[in-house]
Amino acid sequence: MLQTLYDYFWWERLWLPVNLTWADLEDRDGRIYAKASDLYITLPLALLFLIIRYFFELYVATPLAAFLNVKEKARLRAPPNATLEHFYVTSGKQPKQVDVELLSRQSGLSGRQVERWFRRRRNQDRPSLLKKFREASWRFTFYLIAFVAGMAVIVDKPWFYDMKKVWEGYPIQSIIPSQYWYYMIELSFYMSLLFSIASDVKRKDFKEQIIHHVATIILISFSWFANYIRAGTLIMALHDSSDYLLESAKMFNYAGWKNTCNNIFIVFAIVFIITRLVILPFWMIHCTLVYPLELYPAFFGYYFFNAMMGVLQILHIFWAYLILRMAHKFITGKVVEDERSDREETESSEGEEAATGGGAKNRPLANGHLLLNNHHRKND
């Protein structure tokens, strides 16, 4: 049974154009081709990335946060209460009014005290500013290095300037060591992100992030199996071109450098729109969708690869919408905050705010700081 499944999975018609077999991609005459077995190294590399990240955040990102004066406002902790804690853990973090009344009777607290306890308890679970800064620092460092390395790998290649050369001689295209390591490192990094996503800062687009990581891993792996190496390197470099800008803006946002964050955000938004909504669909997807048909009839791998590209493109449109919405708020002078992050709650409820008349001390808090006009909370 396993052998049958294995044979079906590696059936040439799934991965290669008609009249080509895996024998055509066997190493010979000094030419080396991509093999599925090459990807075995990505699992230990992904684990290595997690180890490197731990020490990077501890010995590089944390001192950098201190240097940039990243400070976390002390949060009031919810006092110990077994009844409320049990409900919080087992039933939910946002009790309904009927639940508040029941918990009030069970705990001997007033309804307002119960609501305040849950607000403090939810704030305790929100990630600290330092945790966010360290994550952004790690991703910024990788994306910047990956972008520079990726450009070094492809900038001297003829298919960087002429997209039709991506498919010249396909799939009989040998690889070079720089392409091999670029692929292995990129794939390993995204696998490490998938491994750590449960412990990383969770945002409102948590599901979209999982879909993105899975689609990226599938795309990179498939493009390696099917020898879409040239197209793959171009697509990876294109994505890295804006990611490091995003992470650097987050870092300056957490450090309170508002003007620097705003300026980087503008640059990031421009680069993101150009690369993800213009170059990717009208150059890269056009390259993978149209040019191969000039050489071979469409096959399963062709449809599968472009379907995964379509998934990524839909996610890019979703994130572009969030970016443009934040840009609009920024331009119009409205409060701009991270569209994907939950805002830290104030101590007072709406009723309490009305009773006290609002005022500066009752303004919304984000990461322990007052939200002021033009306090840009970028696409975190």
Q: What six digits make up the tokens of 154? A: 């492809």
Confidence class of residue 360 from pLDDT cuts 50, 70 and 90? Answer: very low
pLDDT tens by residue, 238-271: 999 999 999 999 999 999 898 898 889 889 999 9
- Rounded average pLDDT over 147-164: 93
Mean pLDDT over each residue of the chain, to the nearest integer: 83
- Rounded average pLDDT over 299-303: 90
Closest CA to 119 of 341, 346, 356: 346
| DSSP symbols for 194-212 | HHHTTTSPP-TTHHHHHHH
Confidence class of residue 9 from pLDDT cuts 50, 70 and 90? Answer: confident
Residues 124 and 95: beta-carbon distance below 8 Å: no
| DSSP symbols for 112-170 | HHHHHHHHHHHHHHSPPHHHHHHHHHHHHHHHHHHHHHHHHHHTTSGGGT-GGGGGTTT
Compute CA distances 179 → 22, 175, 229, 279, whole Å. 20, 6, 8, 22
Mean pLDDT: which of 65-74, 270-279, 300-309, 358-367 is highest? 270-279
Residue 116 has pLDDT above 60, yes or no: yes
**How confident is the model at residue 344, as a pLDDT?**
55
Residue 343 has pLDDT above 70, yes or no: no
Residue 180 has pLDDT above 80, yes or no: yes
All structural domains of the chain, each given as residue ranges with its CATH number in brackets, are 29-68+128-332 (no CATH), 82-125 (1.10.10.60)
**How confident is the model at residue 220, as a pLDDT?**
93
**How confident is the model at residue 345, as a pLDDT?**
57
Q: Tokens 């853990």 sit at which residue?
A: 89
Residue 112 has pLDDT above 60, yes or no: yes
Given the DSSP bridges, would you call strands 365-366 and 369-370 parallel, antiparallel or unpaired?
Answer: antiparallel
**How confident is the model at residue 270, as a pLDDT?**
93
366 strand-pairing partners: 369
